[in-house]
Structure 1
Amino acid sequence: MLAPRILVLDDEPIIRMSLAAYLEDEGYQVLEAATAEHALQLLDQHDIALAIVDIRLPGIDGAEFIRYACNKDAALKFIIHTGSMEFRLDESLRRLGLRTSDIFCKPVKDLSGLAASIGQRLVYNVQFA
């Protein structure tokens, strides 16, 4: 059985690459995108279980990406990884299944907490899909 595929969407190369490297070490398949537009193309080309999404992006922002992505794949799970301390989930994102516990502020000091959240979201997805 193949490991779940995770998409890391972040316009900051160092953050994107370090998250990808960590997740690969955890056994996941990882795709990377610097823009929401590229990430949407990857969703058309690959089966992705979960996306880690930065909110502040050039072009389409992360919240709008999540809305578009849900239209493409309603089963896709999300974790928000943002440098914005003020970011709060709006009602439209809550309706898509995001919770406050799915928001991680940059920089994440202990990536094991992020990995645990990913594992919980993916286990939930497998058990109830």
Structure 2
Amino acid sequence: MEQIKKSILIVDDEIYIRQSFIDYFEDRDWLVFDAESCEAALEMLKTQVCSAAIVDIRMTGMNGETFIKNASKTYPDMVFIICTGSPEYEKSEDMIQLSNVADQVFGKPMICIDKLEETILCMFAGKNS
């Protein structure tokens, strides 16, 4: 039986950040999608099934928290990881209440991307137990 490939959506307005995540996750055998805005990511999710998303918080237009709240309502089985370059960022109460958002907020630039992937995989394991 063929294993279903894990899929991930990278939502970040910085191309170099998106590309580094794309390269890492493709090398780790994930199916990777990316979007440069939250609006584009919501449109993409209408046609692409993703099991996880890495989301920047501060972007022009819709911000990452609003994206996560909207996407969580429609895709409750997705897990979300917040990755931001803003050291002062703290998750809002809305984000804390969502069980499919990782407790840890990851900073940019990413130093230990493998820890981010491990967090995603642990969240999957928690959903399936």
Same fold (TM over 0.5): yes
Q: CA deviation at 1:108?
A: 1.2
**Distance across 2 between alignment mates of 1:42 and 1:34:** 11
Q: Is the 8 A contact 1:89 1:99 kept in 2?
A: no
Alignment-derived partner of residue 3 in structure 1: 5
The alignment yields a C-alpha RMSD, in angstroms, of 1.2
For structure 2, list consecutive stretches of 5 or more residues without a partner in the other structure: none
State the TM-score, normalizing by the size of structure 1.
0.92
Q: Percent identity?
A: 33
Normalized per residue, the structure richer in helix is 1
Report how many residues are paired: 126
Long gaps (5+) in structure 1: none
TM-score scaled by structure 2? 0.92
Aligned 1:1-129 pairs, distance under 5 A: 1-97=3-99, 98-101=101-104, 103-125=105-127, 127-128=128-129
Distance 2:13 2:93 in 1: 25
Which amino acid is the alignment partner of residue 25 of structure 1? D
Answer whether contact 1:55 1:63 (CA < 8 A) is retained: yes
